[in-house]
Structure 1
């Protein structure tokens, strides 16, 4: 995963198919994929974010690697100025007993990592509440 641990503000090149080159039906499907992740937020936040994603559809890129069969392992990334979504099938790793496989086996849809982030959003692992308390005058108790 490119947007994993400690990768705040990492500059990532846009790669893959441009949203600008997609048909209307493909754009609709792309928005539906992003909405699966965005809709985990409160409804008003999700609506605002989806409107933002829609406005940037022309400069959104989709990258796919892997198979296309229903059970194939795959990697997909949606990258725009306002959203980053990654889905990556992993090997069994520490969950090997659950899959009856050996440590470090082939990637499978039984072990999937996903992330949604805001590019350059300073959002991974930050103590946002602590930062707010330290930088907002109305919390100053001196």
Structure 2
């Protein structure tokens, strides 16, 4: 009998979007967190890292999120509720999303090489129609 076990966690994404709408939003980065604390820390670390480069209003907004809203964020994540925060810097909106997820276990390949049978395949060569 095949038994699949899942592991609860959070799927975290960071998106950037130009405010003029001339380009579609771009996925800047993603992270799989296995606890509410880990998900919260991922966003907090990025906000702390980029805040010195932000304009004054955006930097203040980031620090407000880091300090004043942190308890609300943690409560939402502990209830396994989706959570989103956005800040705007000049002409770019940066949005972090954290959603509950179930992760499937992946097979761990302990060796650095593929099994020898992986090298038995020959490149495909199209057949000529006039032969």
> What is the TM-score when the length of structure 2 is the normalising length?
0.28
Q: Which has the higher contact order (CA 8 A, sep 6+)?
A: 2
> What is the TM-score when the length of structure 1 is the normalising length?
0.27
Name the structure where strand makes up a greater proportion of residues: 2
Larger Cα-atom Rg = 2
